[in-house]
Amino acid sequence: MMQSAPGPETVIDGVKYLYFGGTSYLGLASHPEVIDAGCEAIRKFGVHSATSRSRFGTNPPVLEVERLAAKLFGTEDAFYFGSGYVANHVMVAALASDSDVVLLDEAAHYCVTEAARLAGKPVHTFRHRDPQDLAKLAAQNDRVLVMADGVNPSTGATAPVLEFISALKGQPKAVLLLDDAHGFGVLGKHGRGLLDELNLWPHVNSGPPIDCVELFVCGTLAKALGGFGGVIPGTSEFVTRCRNSSHYFDGASAPASAEAGATAKALEIVMRLPDLRRRLSENIKRVHDGLLKLGVPAPESRAANFGVTIRDAANMRRIYEALKARGIMLPYVGNYSGLPPEGVLRFAIFATHTFDQIDRLLAELGAVL
């Protein structure tokens, strides 16, 4: 049980650990200004508006999240709702009617897999990050909706988007939808995620298709961006379509006030302090370099979350326990969507980790390998 706010030092089951788990990559979930903004919002607006967005449920903090998310993502508008888990659900409701079949990366997150089924179309899986397998399946169908994670939540592997686009070239209709829950706030020049890093951002969510492939993305504000809830940025027309396609806008309570107030403040801080993202990428690089020195293969991606496999499950469990005994919490994840059977030691790097803390992790890891 976590008995403090998450951060570089986190209390779990009564013990304070040097913590490398979870997702608050920019370190904002425990930022004092974010906490104050959440408290202020709940005081002013109550726990939540106690009605759906389509009635009178859009209170000022909720609207502010949408305004600031649109600013961060450089889009006309953004749809903010209570859970990143349902972001794909909303996207599928908006996109699936034009497709005959859903092609799903076999390692995609649970929420992507569940949303794929909501399309009411046949769902076929292709091998994880395998454009050839995707091309083979796509060739058997005319209008395809392809779904995958932008960044795998446990391994940190990124979707080979350019190769996927090549694999779909010539398709009568191809839509590629990515869940970039772990890319938002971390990757790309503007922190807009994997498609920003690949210079494809102008094409997303109703932008012009690239090689006839329409690109769509959704994600969460609950990971790097330090808030809570799902987000879909885009043109006004596309965001309106998302609000109207599923019944999340008119059939669910609007996001809670404290959540929205905190999230708006976190977004404001991300834009005010670009240094946070710079520190995060320096920290990620320091961990990668340190792992290489230890002979542990560092991941290719520059995501803040990544998994490494060191021999087998028993060995990684031993390393996890040994680090824990030394006051370091580096989770061993044995079972999660898309993981190899032996599991991984999953690293989460924060902008707020100091170099000393990272060096201690690497030194202790080296001692117990």
Ligand X SMILES: Cc1ncc(COP(=O)(O)O)c(C=O)c1O
Minimum CB separation of residue 347 from ligand X in Å reads 15
Minimum CB separation of residue 152 from ligand X in Å reads 8
Dihedral, 194, 198, 203, 209 alpha carbons, nearest 10: -110
Could you give the angle at which helices 161-168 and 131-139 cross, rounded to 10 degrees?
A: 20
Residue 109 interacts with ligand X (CB under 6 A): yes or no: yes
Q: Measuring CA to CA, how many Å separate 240 from each of 77, 125, 170, 235, 245?
A: 9, 30, 30, 8, 9
Residue 259 interacts with ligand X (CB under 6 A): yes or no: no
Which residue, 135 or 228, is less far from ligand X as judged by CB? 228
| Binding-site member from 70, 94, 95, 111 for ligand X (CB under 6 A) | 111
Residue 222 interacts with ligand X (CB under 6 A): yes or no: yes
Which residue, 21 or 84, is less far from ligand X as judged by CB? 84
Which residue, 147 or 269, is less far from ligand X as judged by CB? 147
- 78 burial via Cβ count (<10 Å: 0-12, 13-18, 19+): buried
What residues are paired with 347 via a beta bridge?
Answer: 306
CA distance 336 to 25: 20
Residues in binding contact with ligand X, number by CB under 6 A: 12
Residue 83 interacts with ligand X (CB under 6 A): yes or no: yes
Q: Measuring CA to CA, how many Å separate 363 from each of 23, 356, 358?
A: 23, 10, 9
Q: Where are the beta strands (DSSP E) in the chain?
A: 9-12, 15-19, 77-81, 101-105, 123-126, 143-149, 173-179, 213-220, 230-234, 305-308, 328-329, 332-333, 344-348
Which residue, 28 or 135, is less far from ligand X as judged by CB? 28
Segment contacting ligand X by CB under 6 A, of 81-89, 96-104, 135-143, 244-252:
81-89
Residues 51-80, interacting with ligand X (CB under 6 A): none
Which residue, 262 or 362, is less far from ligand X as judged by CB? 262
Which residue, 181 or 264, is less far from ligand X as judged by CB? 181
Q: b/e map of 10-48 (b: 16 or more CB within 10 Å)?
A: bbbeeeebbbbbbbbbbbbbbbeebbebbebbbeebeeb
CA distance 60 to 128: 41
Minimum CB separation of residue 150 from ligand X in Å reads 8
| Binding-site member from 17, 81, 85, 164 for ligand X (CB under 6 A) | 85
Which residue, 121 or 223, is less far from ligand X as judged by CB? 223
Which residue, 77 or 180, is less far from ligand X as judged by CB? 180
Site string for ligand X, 155-194 (x = CB under 6 A): ------------------------x-x-------------
| Binding-site member from 24, 158, 220, 263 for ligand X (CB under 6 A) | 220
The contacts of residue 55 (CB under 8 Å, 6+ apart) are 250
Which single residue brings its beta carbon nearest to ligand X? 84
Binding positions for ligand X, rule: CB under 6 A: 83-85, 109, 111, 149, 153, 179, 181, 220, 222, 230
